[in-house]
Amino acid sequence: MRVLTSPRVWTAGMLAVGLAITGCGSDSPTAPPGIQPQIANLPDDFSYQITAVTNYTGTALYTWQNTGIAANVNQATTVSAGTITLQITDAGGTQVYSRSLSDNGTFITGNGTTGNWHLRVTYTGASGTVNFRVQKKT
Q: Does residue 22 sit in helix, strand or coil?
A: coil
E-state strands within 29-114: 38-42, 45-66, 71-75, 78-89, 95-100, 105-108
User: Across-strand partners of 72?
Assistant: 108, 135
What burial letters (b/e) apply to 22-52, b meaning 16+ CB within 10 Å?
eeeeeebeeebeebebebebeeeebbbebee
Domains of the chain: 27-136 (2.60.120.380)
What are the tens digits of pLDDT across the range 50-69? 999 999 999 999 999 999 99
pLDDT at 3 over 50: no
- pLDDT the model gives residue 104: 97
Rounded percentage of the chain residues whose pLDDT exceeds 90 = 73
Residues in the chain: 138
Query: For residues 27 and 134, which has the higher predicted lDDT (pLDDT)?
Result: 134
What are the tens digits of pLDDT across the range 64-116? 999 999 999 999 999 999 999 999 999 999 999 999 999 999 999 999 999 99
Query: For residues 91 and 33, which has the higher predicted lDDT (pLDDT)?
Result: 91
